[in-house]
A and B are shown apart, each in its own frame.
Chain A
């Protein structure tokens, strides 16, 4: 019931926004871009972060005076809440398609991006995900699905190399949150560590809404792994880390991009110390536009959580394609989007034939003195 009401409010707000847009002068074209992320629930901090990234890009482009096809253009971001729920994501996607948006930034999660991508593909609207890393997202053959982040095949490989190579973990326990992202990444990781000779002593599951992990951690405790890998988001990884140390367990903790946020450290408290996690792409400070982005973003919205630079780049890439095509019509600008070649905040943005980013980097981090520090 709460869901319905919330989405009703969001719907009303969007209608109001759309209404405003229609009343503007006819010389100026309004380009409407949907921004979809979980704005409520355990991942709302990440969702808001993503949304702010897209908004920052839109504000800057608007301020610099955008001209498309000879007429002045203005970008309006339509924020939608998918609640990190695949079902809601398809409803929201259909709504944006019905409203005739020019393009879409989203979704945040892989589990939501994958079902939504079919709807955008059927409608021929470009979807650029800033943070969906599951392989399946661009593997469905849709010409409209793009992402500006390294995918899980590359990330899982780097994580496995780190676990088996650098940390020399011989026995490994794997936990995932049964989402497309968590499970997909855990599968990739499992495949690669097995190939490098490590033993998988346990494979456990939780959900993306759980807070109690004592039972699965206890059953893992009996198997004495050197390392625990978690495929999932920070809202689970934080409490999990805390409960892990409260149970007196000493194994290394390795997460992926979903766990590598300030939120993880806040939730895990002192237990966070020493945890490892990877992130696609370069560390924020080493990104070509990283420093400037931190300043701009933090002046306006506060601390960066995870993906806002990617959201910024996704928006810039989308608008860049529209500029080159001289049209905000997806049919016209899609070929230009596929040929994107620009240097964004996060690095060079060039898509391969699937819509994946070419030469995506992966960086590993460790919590030291309450901060994520990039490992060389």
Chain B
């Protein structure tokens, strides 16, 4: 039972990260009908920026939580800027183009970000510093670490914040209006271009947080970490119904739990036919 519980905890933590990334896919898809394949690489940029900032500050004598906070903040700001720039440079000129064109551009942007990151941060694995002390809180035989609690809480907070923003605020109204019909929304006085920019900025901020979390959790960051993570989060978004915010959260959690349980039990159940390498 304790092992099952531990796998469940692992799955929920993994799922929270997937959910955060999946939200970025879903937001952009909901509003523009575009699958932003560069989103996974924005996650990577977030992790890398946080890594650099935390490393620069680690000798300054500031307390660790402050350094981590500054690192995350820097990652969010840089990712917001990157997200805004990508939309402005890569997607806006293709606003009226057939759907395939921005999709190809998205893959191009993803390659560009990966190669830039490879040039800036190198090709190897970077060892991400531990943001929180490695304490483990026992829960019915299983253990939850401080990082895990932080990941779950932060994602839950950000997801409910986003939900509130989209459903209850004026900005959210405008976002939903743009998603439903961009032309009519524009006629009603909504600045559709600004709304799309804001969507990208919000999605990128979520990606930055996810990037820092995933690196802090596993202790490594590298230039192509965004690819698989992005693919999995995209799967989660599709699983939950792409364009649907609650769906993305649920899809992410579900995928995380399935992955963790699958790795934990599939090998034993199938007698090693299906392995644990997923």
Contact = CB atoms under 8 A, between A and B. Distances in A.
Partners in one complex: yes
A128 B129 CA distance: 39
A320 B69 CA distance: 58
Nearest to A175: B276
A238 B218 CA distance: 10
Nearest to B138: A248
A211 B264 contact: no
B269 to A, nearest CB: 11
A246 B136 contact: yes
A154 interface: no
B219 A219 contact: no
A215 B6 CA distance: 9
A189 to B, nearest CB: 17
A245 B263 CA distance: 19
Contacts of A207: 277
Interface in A252-293: 263, 266-269
Contact of B127 (A41, A178, A212, A267): A267
Nearest to B264: A219
Contact of B125 (A212, A267, A269): A267
B276 A216 contact: yes
B89 interface: no
Given A205-B277, A219-B263, A263-B125, A245 B134 contact: yes
Interface in A233-249: 235, 238-239, 242-243, 245-248
A211 B276 contact: no
Given A211-B220, A211-B225, A245-B134, A216 B264 contact: yes
Contacts of B275: 178, 204-205
Interface string A185-221: 0000000000000000001111101111011101101
A248 B143 contact: yes
B115 A267 contact: no
A363 interface: no
A203 B268 contact: no
Contact of A246 (B115, B145, B276): B145
A118 B161 CA distance: 59
B10 interface: yes
A207 B228 CA distance: 13
Q: By CB atoms of chain A within 10 A, which of B2, B115, B261, B277 has the most? A: B277
B124 A222 contact: no
A216 B261 CA distance: 9
Contacts of B272: 203
B264 A2 contact: no
Contact of A235 (B10, B11, B125, B143): B125
Interface in B1-49: 2-3, 6-7, 10-11, 14
A40 interface: yes
A7 interface: no
A44 interface: yes
Instruction: Bin chain A's interface residue count.
Output: 35 or more
B260 A214 contact: yes
A5 to B, nearest CB: 8
Grouping DSSP codes into helix (H, G, I), strand (E, B) and loop, the A interface class, with mixed when no group exceeds half, is: helix
Interface string A78-111: 0000000000000000000000000000000000
A269 B264 contact: no
B7 A212 contact: no
A209 B219 CA distance: 15
A350 to B, nearest CB: 35
A218 B107 contact: no
Contact of A219 (B111, B123, B259, B265): B265
Given A2-B114, A204-B267, A205-B276, A215 B10 contact: yes
A365 B249 CA distance: 46
A16 interface: no
Interface in A1-17: 1-2, 5
A251 interface: no
A208 to B, nearest CB: 10
Contact of B218 (A203, A206, A212): A212
B222 interface: yes
A263 B225 CA distance: 18
Given A178-B277, A211-B225, A218 B6 contact: yes
Contacts of A218: 3, 6-7, 10, 260, 264
Contact of A45 (B118, B124, B277): B124
B198 interface: no
A219 B218 contact: no
B138 to A, nearest CB: 8
A130 B261 CA distance: 40
A269 B224 CA distance: 22
Contact of A212 (B14, B265, B267): B14
Contacts of B261: 215
A364 to B, nearest CB: 25
A219 B145 contact: no
B188 to A, nearest CB: 41
Interface string A9-37: 00000000000000000000000000000
Give the top 8 A-B pairs by smallest Cβ distance, nearest first.
A215-B263, A222-B3, A44-B123, A219-B264, A205-B275, A205-B277, A215-B260, A218-B6
Interface of B: 2-3, 6-7, 10-11, 14, 107, 111, 114-115, 118, 123-125, 127, 130, 134, 136, 143, 145, 218-220, 222, 224-225, 228, 259-265, 267-268, 272, 275-277
9 contacts: A2-B111, A178-B275, A205-B277, A206-B276, A215-B7, A219-B263, A221-B6, A248-B143, A269-B130
Given A2-B115, A214-B14, 4 more contacts: A215-B11, A218-B6, A219-B267, A239-B219
